[in-house]
Structure 1
């Protein structure tokens, strides 16, 4: 049993949480984190990484009245989730463990006054931690043994890395740092090199990241309006709860407004929402007051619910790993899920990369108000190759200014003839 690795109060927490076995990221992180090793972990949302860093933190607490651990998460919602999980564990301890949450939209003066005594664990957003640690110097982190940065790529994208750099600079040099991220972009590397001396890199490989209990469907959008196609799809699915992904905040706003105008119960999650509205939207989402959520990749990480039945990629993400992270929003807590993506001919190379990650697609189309299997994928390679040769030949044959009788037929023959020559030439080169 996994409980034997921990103090008694952690064993009790694990029992109450209903843990039967550790997830892969937990198996790799926990023993190394307990030994004090610095870690860079790449793992998807829903993989259990929050418990992976919290259990070792609680295991190593000395409860000496100083700040022993600081955990930073880029959004208020994510920080609140970590705070709630931490308290689920701490309540089993006979000794009081002082855990405090520092995010925007709270009583700043009261929180500063309360820092006459220091928390054992401080959890917060980059801006608020920077305010209390660096500007006010009231949250005394020079005693902390461990600094956790969750969703580091999100912090980088939102421009918080400089603030995190300054917060880390206030901590002691012999610091255990654990950095978790969905992806490890190059912009993170200077920060990691500065603060992590020979860290342990833990990465769940892409093919292992893809959930096996998700069905992946593809629907072609060529010659069809995506908005109308989406409405037809939603009417067929009638999902319990679906997250619809777009690639930009602008498209999220536009699509959510369009769906509302068609009578769908839609929430939207993106970075431009005012704090009050965003918090309200998250609360309503968790209370299952929406059937559909339109969201961007980054904003959706704040959604932590197990009841998503369908993920719809209105737009395919640019990064292959982000497809895995998006679709990982469904099929949680041992449930089954469906991921549906709109695609066109320009998406084929991207889809090939996903198939290399052992993601198996079923091609679908909407016919007579039903979602049925499509044969379009089987014709793909030949169709794309022939199409590209025709496009190349068409560009090479100059159009005449005067249109003569029979011109179109004659031109089509010339294009066909040249396309065949190009195809033969291409085959010879490939040999």
Structure 2
């Protein structure tokens, strides 16, 4: 199908898709929607921003039987924020219909949630732990749901949620249709998939977009300056639409946010120690553009979708360098350009080298008197020393000690060696 109008969806769903402004399905939608409509187990491998959420939400809504008063589909997401985002998109598709849905996430009133489940929803969206909890105490009848979607499966695995999913998936029908969506398929995840999916269709849409596409990677030396002061200098030298400052720990995130606040920069903060209410309020403020800056841990690199990020600042290099890719992937999305600024000290050179091996083309820059300037790259001195050593060795092998020495021969050899090195340098400059 080349356009959404080509699908024979129910009228209410066609209207909802039209309201959302969807005209043509994205590649992952084009592949996955027919498979889910047919009930074929499938793995959809695609990166964030490819439209994968609607590739399962649309066909699931189409398949809901309103007259059947029982749970028919379970959708899991590894974080509360991602689950909430999916639930919001689901409601846009079911608006004005009798399709009942429920959001099951931690940090909400458990008894109130149980009360809402007394009238069985057709579809639930939630985090694995809360879904398992509701299934364990009998409030959620997962045994009737023939569809299970696991979104961001690799992140769910990293966060240790696969056991929770396994616990309630085992109670679902024997002919369970499982649909797994993930940017990557870790080797350790495969035994779980094999348990529930016999010869699934594996759809892989493209590869990760080139890391250099639409991106400017600035590498800024901290040198002798305090790292916080350097960050402040950097922030005063940019005017972002929305910038995320990444730290490695919750404590550092709070310290940096407080430090910036003390210097007149209002910054939001996102990390795992916020209460559910604080996180919900913070995400609303972020989406309402109340902040120009957000200080966050790596939870925001993968677990939360924040639109409109123009700048990413790595206050600290991540312990797991793969998260560098996740961090910078928050910007330069949907065809827009982005800037990633990384602060570093000489002691972190090994990490920088490893990141460069991932394909990151750093530009060595610094901010002086409020102006961005390109500076000599960190290896320049080492390279000069190495080149000098190489030239000295080459000259020494070229100018040999005479068989019969005469007074002053050492000075003559030194002059010849210096002359040789000058010629070599001239040749190099010409090249």
TM over 0.5: yes
1:13 has 2:16 as partner: yes
SS in 2 for 1:376: coil
Please name the residue that 2:285 is paired with.
284
* Structure 1 residues 352 and 309, CA gap change in structure 2 (3 angstroms): closer
CA distance in 2, matches of 1:58, 1:225: 54
Give the structure-2-normalised TM-score: 0.78
**Deviation (angstroms), 1:151:** 2.5
1:112 matched to 2:111? The reply is no
Q: Provide closer, same or farther for how the CA distance between residues 321 and 13 of structure 1 changes in structure 2, counting only shifts above 3 A.
A: farther
Q: Contact between 2:221 and 2:343, CA under 8 Å: does it hold in 1?
A: yes
Deviations 1:95-144 (A, max 9, x none): 521111122344433433443432111111222211211x2223112222
What residue in structure 2 maps to residue 231 of structure 1? 232
- Alpha carbons 1:320, 1:354 under 8 Å: kept: no
Q: Distance in 1 between matches of 2:216 and 2:303?
A: 24
When residues 252 and 110 of structure 1 are mapped into structure 2, their CA distance, relative to the original with a 3 A threshold, is: closer
Q: Given that residues 245 and 314 in structure 2 are in contact (C-alpha distance below 8 angstroms), is that contact kept between their aligned partners in structure 1?
A: yes
Measure the CA separation in 2 of the matches of 1:236 and 1:351: 25
Q: 1:238 to 1:25 in 2, by over 3 A?
A: same
Work out whether residues 46 and 329 of structure 1, in 8 Å CA contact, stay in contact via their aligned partners in 2.
no
2:369 alignment partner in structure 1: 368
Query: Counterparts of 2:282 and 2:106 in 1: how far apart (Å)?
Result: 17
Look up the match of 2:407: none
8 Å CA contact retained: 2:143, 2:172 = yes
**d(CA) in 1 for partners of 2:383 and 2:204?**
37
SS at match of 2:289: coil
Kept in 1: contact 2:302–2:326 (CA 8 A) = no
Instruction: Tell me the SS of whatever aligns to 1:277.
Output: helix
CA distance, structure 1, for counterparts of residue 322 and residue 201 of structure 2: 21
1:352 to 356, 377, 380: 356
Question: Structure 2: which 5+ runs fail to align?
Answer: 391-431
Residue 170 of structure 1 aligns to a residue in which SS? Answer: coil
User: CA–CA distance in 2 between the matches of 1:2 and 1:313?
Assistant: 41
Determine the C-alpha separation between the residues in 2 that align with 1:290 and 1:280: 13
Q: 1:194 to 1:221 in 2, by over 3 A?
A: farther
The gaps in structure 1 that reach 5 residues or longer are 390-431
Task: Identify the residue that residue 123 of structure 1 maps to in structure 2.
Answer: 125
Partner of 1:219: 220
The 8 Å contact of residues 151 and 180 in structure 1, kept in 2 or not, is answered as yes
* Counterpart selection for 1:49 from 43, 49, 52: 52
2:60, 2:213 → 1: CA distance?
Answer: 31
Taking the TM superposition and a 5 Å limit, the aligned residue runs for 1:4-153 are 4-7=6-9, 8-63=11-66, 64-91=68-95, 95-133=97-135, 135-153=136-154
Contact 1:243–1:292 (CA under 8 A) maintained in structure 2: yes
RMSD over aligned CA atoms reads 3.0
Q: CA deviation at 1:27?
A: 3.5
Alignment of 1:267-278 (within 5 A): 267-278=268-279
CA–CA separation in structure 2 for the residues paired with 1:264 and 1:190:
48
Q: 1:196 to 1:318 in 2, by over 3 A?
A: farther
Deviation at 1:82, TM superposition (A): 0.7
Q: How many residues matched?
A: 382
Output aligned runs, 1:173-252, within 5 Å.
173-204=174-205, 206-208=207-209, 210=211, 212-252=213-253
